[in-house]
């Protein structure tokens, strides 16, 4: 909610007061429904990912997240009939295979956590394709900042009841932490501003490349997160798990090469 509130406020200031881009209006009920769907799916992907971290190590969570390009390619074909070269789809096979292997060798595997993680991954892929449609469709094209302006308040409204149910004591906990750590509010503010920047860049990359490329680029972050999480949290990994992660990373590299050659 902090992130989405920051996105709503900063987008409004940037458009209305700083006039960095012209204000665009939603043209139809259909366009509004797509923006609302994008907001809800975005929230579901984030909440699902966070819930899965209660049951799965960060390294395994990131490995499952590496299958996002597979789901993105599937949704892109179903929703926009956009096809990639067959060799590009072939490069996604090791991305998924690596996660399957890593699942079999994961000491901390948990079925509910895995289901939440894979659901969040699919939701993230669906979100990428839908935001690509809203940013590029001739009839409903919005620029990145205006899409953020309309999406963020809806996301805040969607997250409010979830927050009340899942974290009823969140305000008292936050105030308690703020008393213990004098930089708490500053860190929360900086974190929220960075979230706005990350989401805006996310939209811009989608607009100027594709939803599938965005998710494959995100896997580079995932590979780094796997290594750091193992070093930081000391969660156990097996030879099979390491092999699975390696196959996934190699699949990401292969995808990048096929996209470069078969544009």
| Model confidence pLDDT, tens digit, residues 206-224 | 777 766 666 666 666 666 6
Residue 41 lies in a domain: yes
How confident is the model at residue 222, as a pLDDT? 61
- Whether residue 94 contacts residue 216, with contact meaning beta carbons closer than 8 Å, is answered with no
Closest CA to 206 of 192, 194, 218, 196: 218
pLDDT of 35-87, one tens digit each? Answer: 999 999 999 998 899 899 889 887 778 778 777 877 888 888 888 877 777 77
How confident is the model at residue 212, as a pLDDT? 65
| The two structure tokens encoding residue 115 | 């289901």
Residue 101 lies in a domain: yes
Long-range contacts of 157-163 (CB under 8 A, 24+ apart): 158/39, 158/40, 158/43, 159/1, 159/4, 159/43, 159/47, 160/1, 162/43, 162/47, 163/1
Torsion of CA 10, 16, 21, 26, to 10 degrees: 90
Residue 98 lies in a domain: yes
Residue 20 lies in a domain: no
Round to whole Å and give the CA distance between 137 and 85.
Answer: 22
**What domain range is 52 assigned to?**
29-143+190-261
Residue 174 lies in a domain: no
Q: How far is CA 202 from CA 18, 125, 131, 230, in A?
A: 21, 13, 10, 27
How confident is the model at residue 106, as a pLDDT? 61
| The two structure tokens encoding residue 52 | 């899965």
Q: Which of 12-16, 23-27, 165-169, 207-211 has the lowest mean pLDDT?
A: 207-211
Residue with the bigger pLDDT between 109 and 164: it is: 164
Q: What percent of the chain has pLDDT over 70?
A: 87
| The two structure tokens encoding residue 120 | 């969040």
- Cα angle value 180/186/191 (rounded, 5°): 115
Residue 68 lies in a domain: yes
Checking if the pLDDT of 190 tops 80, the result is: yes
Residue 236 lies in a domain: yes
Residue 233 lies in a domain: yes
**CA 72 to centroid of chain Cα atoms:** 12
pLDDT band at residue 227 under the 50/70/90 scheme: confident
- Whether residue 61 contacts residue 53, with contact meaning beta carbons closer than 8 Å, is answered with yes
Closest CA to 66 of 116, 118, 114: 118
- Provide the domain count of the chain: 1
């Amino acid at each position: 909610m902090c992130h989405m509130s920051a996105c709503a406020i900063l987008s409004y200031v940037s458009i209305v007061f700083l006039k960095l881009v012209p204000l665009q209006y939603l043209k139809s009920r259909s366009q509004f429904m797509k923006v609302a769907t994008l907001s809800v799916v975005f929230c579901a992907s984030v909440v699902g990912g966070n819930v899965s971290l209660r049951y799965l190590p960060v390294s395994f969570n990131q490995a499952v997240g590496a299958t996002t390009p597979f789901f993105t390619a599937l949704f892109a074909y179903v929703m926009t009939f956009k096809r990639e070269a067959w060799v590009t789809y072939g490069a996604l096979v090791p991305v998924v295979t690596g996660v399957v292997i890593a699942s079999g060798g994961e000491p901390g595997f948990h079925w509910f956590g895995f289901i939440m993680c894979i659901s969040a991954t699919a939701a993230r892929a669906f979100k990428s394709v839908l935001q690509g449609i809203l940013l590029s469709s001739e009839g409903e094209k919005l620029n990145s900042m205006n899409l953020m302006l309309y999406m963020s308040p809806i996301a805040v409204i969607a997250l409010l009841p979830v927050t009340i149910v899942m974290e009823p004591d969140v305000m008292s906990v936050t105030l308690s932490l703020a008393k213990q750590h004098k930089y708490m509010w500053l860190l929360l503010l900086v974190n929220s501003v960075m979230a706005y920047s990350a989401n805006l860049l996310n939209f811009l990359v989608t607009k100027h490349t594709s939803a599938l490329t965005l998710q494959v680029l995100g896997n580079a972050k995932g590979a780094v997160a796997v290594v750091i999480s193992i070093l930081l949290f000391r969660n156990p990994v097996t030879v099979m798990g390491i092999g699975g992660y390696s196959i996934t990373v190699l699949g990401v590299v292969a995808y990048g090469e096929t996209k470069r050659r078969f544009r």
